[in-house]
Amino acid sequence: MTQALAVVLVCAATVAVGALGLRLSRTTSDFYVASRMVSPRWNASAIGGEYLSAASFLGVAGLVLAAGTDMLWYPVGYTAGYLVLLVLVAAPLRRSGAYTLPDFAEIRTSSPAVRRAASVLVVGIGWLYLLPQFRGAGLTLRTVSGAPSWVGSTVVAVVVVASVAAGGMRSITLVQAFQYWLKLTAIAFPALLLLIAWGADGAPDPVTDRPPVAAETITFTLADPVRVQVDVPVTLTVDGTVDGAPARGELRLPAPGQLTFGAGTTIVVPAGAVVPRAENVPAGDGASWMAPTAADGADDHPVYRTYSLLLALLLGTMGLPHVIVRFYTNPDGRAARRTAAFVVGLLGVFYLFPPIYAALGRIYAPDLLLTGRTDAVVLLLPERMLPAPWGEAMSALVTAGAFAAFLSTASGLTVSVAGVLSQDLLRGRARASVTGFRAGSLIAVVVPAALSLLTVRVGLADTVGLAFAMAASTFCPLLVLGIWWRRLTAAGALAGLATGGLLAGTAVIVTLTGVDVPGIAGVLLAQPAAWTVPLAFAVTIGVSLATPRSAPANAQQVLVRLHAPERLALDPGTRPA
């Protein structure tokens, strides 16, 4: 119940702040510009607050628990992405004066068509990134209270629409900054207590030469049917359905073997038994769990996967719709750069903690490997490991942190997507009006919230990884070439966006719909960035070179504005030629 109270508190605070935002920001210019005097430190906290989503708060620990060290590349990539953003994009983007990615597309190419293509992609990437936020909310509420998944998704959807539609552009930096520190506290403090409890338990090593073993008898009930792989013979006590037939009592499972437990089945794993794993969880003795590029089967191509993922994360960060808006709140390019550098530090501190949950989860929550719901490990460990008052209190704290993560990321994304929908894509009366913005925020939320109820089991961080791959294949070429290459043309930009968008989009749809593509093609589709990003760059460059006539007349002028320090641009002697 404490956890439910924590969720209610976080939601109420978010709506209250949204309403307050409406009263505080009186004029449109206040809306956008009031926070332009924000210092880099505060703005960096705000970016951290908006950026650390369900994927970071729950997903990283879940993936590392399931698949091991190779998943540590996610937090490394999330952080390093800001370094790439810092050196390639931060200052020039701020100096361009663009408030959104479509703005930048139009400023640089003078082409409404490129602007429209960018708008469509912002909506697509925004939806893809919103999807795991809603799913994470469903999972969280189900884990702590047993409510069905749609309840959590709906709660977050309603709160986000209410706060965004009421408060408009929630550009209250202070609140987003507070969210970062709340999330850091909510992940760090319980983690430290868990480490103390682990030490008091004799500090058992999470890395053994066997798959994870139940430390003590674990009893749990499955919410969904699970196909299970048995690697080591084990005897379980079950009550429910096994392979479609009712089953009750002791069940001896030979190895290797596969079976399906029905929804609602209660399973008791005796202390000391090797826990069978869900089919989609890789086999994990200590050595393969610890290897940074571990293969899961013969045609898994772990090295390709790792590089492709890393490329997507490094180059995708700059193309996320809710990230670049925040940089606009810096007074100038220099502050934008300092902000990005602080963000690298803040994210680094945060990402020290999720792996702790993953390692401890191997000892204290191996049943998650059977249910396949490893994303819940952060939520479950406090109550499992800590004594009475602490367990519930820390569980409430991580629940509050998780909801803060869904709400802040989801509202940031919703604002971006709704803004683009109302400015560029809606027609007639709705265009660029308050009504349009409200309609936009409703559309922005309802579509991914509905999809979140349908999609198959792709981990939270995996889905977010696909959003990064999509951003890296589309906006990265546009931004990098737009900022650093004079000869980019409107036709080249359009062709690049179309190529990257279609290729990565196809890969995303195939992966999310769970179509099983065998062999190397399946791996290429699951981690598309390594081929879609170079192709998008090549097409952008090739078409630009072939269409010098569609080069914007003011390309030189724009490049000067992007790269010259602001002080110079004000000087009459340096007005662009």
Partner 1 sequence: MSAAVARPAPRPHAARDVDESTGVREVYLRSLLRVQRRLALGVLGVVALPLAAVPVLFALVPALSAYRVAGLPLPWLLLGVAVHPLLLAAAAWYVRRVERTEADFTDLLSGGDSHGHGGSRSDH
Q: Where on the chain is the footprint of partner 1 (CB under 8 A)?
A: 69, 72-73, 75-76, 79-80, 82-84, 86-88, 91, 207, 287, 290-293, 302-303, 306-307, 310, 314, 334, 337-338, 340-341, 344-345, 347-349, 351-352, 355, 359, 484, 556, 559-560, 563-565, 567-568, 571, 573-574, 577
Is 349 or 521 the residue whose CB approaches partner 1 more closely?
349
Cβ partners under 8 Å of residue 306, min gap 6: 70, 73, 292, 293
Q: How far is the CB of 183 from partner 1 (least distance, A)?
A: 16
Q: How far is the CB of 307 from partner 1 (least distance, A)?
A: 7
Q: Where are the alpha helices (DSSP H) in 57-200?
A: 60-67, 73-85, 91-96, 101-109, 112-145, 149-167, 173-200
Is 87 or 545 the residue whose CB approaches partner 1 more closely?
87
Query: Count of CB atoms within 10 A of residue 382's CB?
Result: 24
**What pairing do the DSSP bridges indicate for beta strands 245-253 and 277-278?**
unpaired
Contact (CB, 8 A) for 432 and 422: yes
Q: Where are the alpha helices (DSSP H) in 277-387?
A: 286-290, 302-316, 321-327, 333-350, 354-364, 367-371, 377-385
Q: How far is the CB of 389 from partner 1 (least distance, A)?
A: 30
User: What per-residue string of b and e applies to 348-376 under the rule 16 or more CB within 10 Å gives b?
Assistant: eebbebbbbbbbbbbbbbbbbbbbbbbbb
Q: Measure Cα distances from 97 to 34, 329, 418 in Å.
A: 15, 10, 20
Is 175 or 551 the residue whose CB approaches partner 1 more closely?
551
Is 277 or 301 the residue whose CB approaches partner 1 more closely?
301
Is 307 or 390 the residue whose CB approaches partner 1 more closely?
307
Contact (CB, 8 A) for 196 and 441: no
Q: How far is the CB of 108 from partner 1 (least distance, A)?
A: 15
Tell me the C-alpha distance between 498 and 504, whole Å. Answer: 10
Tell me the C-alpha distance between 446 and 454, whole Å. Answer: 13
The dihedral formed by the CA atoms of 32, 36, 42 and 45, expressed in degrees to the nearest 10: 40
Q: How far is the CB of 293 from partner 1 (least distance, A)?
A: 5
Q: How far is the CB of 159 from partner 1 (least distance, A)?
A: 32
Q: How far is the CB of 540 from partner 1 (least distance, A)?
A: 17
Taking the CA atoms of 212, 216, 217 and 218 in sequence, report the sign of the dihedral they define: negative
Is 166 or 310 the residue whose CB approaches partner 1 more closely?
310
φ and ψ of 517, to 5 deg: -100, 120
Q: How far is the CB of 356 from partner 1 (least distance, A)?
A: 9
Residue 203 Cα to chain centre, angstroms: 32
Is 104 or 351 the residue whose CB approaches partner 1 more closely?
351
Is 46 or 118 the residue whose CB approaches partner 1 more closely?
46
In the block, which residue shows the tokens 């170079």? 534
Q: How far is the CB of 399 from partner 1 (least distance, A)?
A: 24
Is 61 or 281 the residue whose CB approaches partner 1 more closely?
61
Tell me the C-alpha distance between 446 and 125, whole Å. Answer: 15
Residue 264 Cα to chain centre, angstroms: 30
Contact (CB, 8 A) for 399 and 382: no
Is 68 or 496 the residue whose CB approaches partner 1 more closely?
68
Q: How far is the CB of 76 from partner 1 (least distance, A)?
A: 5
In the block, which residue shows the tokens 């949204």? 18
φ and ψ of 100, to 5 deg: -135, 170
Q: How far is the CB of 86 from partner 1 (least distance, A)?
A: 6
Is 310 or 407 the residue whose CB approaches partner 1 more closely?
310
Is 174 or 341 the residue whose CB approaches partner 1 more closely?
341
Q: How far is the CB of 256 from partner 1 (least distance, A)?
A: 23
The secondary element (H helix, E strand) that includes residue 555 is helix 555-563
DSSP string across 237-300: EEEEEETTEEEEEEEEE-SSEEEEEPTT-EEEEPTTPBPPEETTSPP--HHHHH-TT--SSGGG
Q: How far is the CB of 334 from partner 1 (least distance, A)?
A: 6
Cβ partners under 8 Å of residue 370, min gap 6: 226, 228, 267, 269, 275, 276, 277, 278
Q: Measure Cα distances from 227 to 53, 263, 278, 371, 372 in Å.
A: 29, 11, 6, 9, 9
Tell me the C-alpha distance between 63 and 138, whole Å. Answer: 18
Within 13 Å, how many C-alpha atoms sit on residue 174's CB side? 6
Contact (CB, 8 A) for 437 and 415: no
Is 390 or 485 the residue whose CB approaches partner 1 more closely?
485
Q: How far is the CB of 311 from partner 1 (least distance, A)?
A: 10
Is 70 or 383 the residue whose CB approaches partner 1 more closely?
70
In the block, which residue shows the tokens 């089953």? 247
